[in-house]
Structure 1
Amino acid sequence: MSTQTFAHQHGELLTHAEAILAAAANGSETELQNLPALRLAFARLVNSHCSVEIRMVNARAPQFDADSDRRALIRRFHDELLMWRGDLMDCNTNWPQREVANDRAGFIADFRGLADRLKARVRWEEQVFYPAILAEPVRR
């Protein structure tokens, strides 16, 4: 898979995250009812994207055994991704649909933090990580 495909998926992830925030903020009953499906689709997209991305990075990692800077980038890639995905799981656990309905502002605040971190992560991957590890700049 190319970095262009990953960049496209990043766009989908960011769009899904914003759709979740909009559905929670809108206030309409219909959008609130659609929120669980949006959240499930987002979680599935995160899982499918990350599994392919991790496999590709891990396949390239051995060629950087002697390069401490690139090994550090790969470690950061894994550590931060693991932390973010864990925080997403915590958010999904701590904010079942009934809690979101009772405290939309609280959910939005928590999920906005995840979405903001996702945006920063996407920028870092596309501008720093992919060129260094996958040797492909991202063209947008």
Structure 2
Amino acid sequence: MKTRNALSAAALAATALLVAGCGNDTCPTETPQVSQIQSCTASPGATVPVRLKACPTCNQNITRCEVDVQGGYIQLDPLAEACDSSTSCPPGCAPGDIVCNVTAPSAPGTYTLIVSNGQGGTLQGQLDVGTGAVACAY
């Protein structure tokens, strides 16, 4: 009976580790500082590579940009993995562009692009969906 209880306890412990996400090798995510967002024009349904001027700190590794379309607004969320504390690196950043691939809505119109600036505020751009090729500019 003791062996059976020990096996049951071991099975429960293994299940608890799996449920807790043991083995996940990703770091927490942070929003990098963003200083500019492009405005773009595109045809309905086109993929639009919207660029953001970013200034991630040395502990941030930008991994992706999530896009959330809600009505006339398109929220861009650049995410950076931060495996170390920001206090572990010198002041400053590694400036560069982040590309957020947006699928233009199927309905023609003007849509507001919104991104957090990483400092408690937001920046806005514009996506004009109509006819013509994809074009973006700061």
Pick the TM interval, shorter chain: under 0.3
TM-score (norm 1): 0.24
Q: So what's the TM-score if we normalise by structure 2?
A: 0.24
- The structure with more helix, counted as a fraction of residues: 1
Report which of the two structures shows the higher radius of gyration computed on alpha carbons: 2
Name whichever structure is richer in strand by fraction: 2
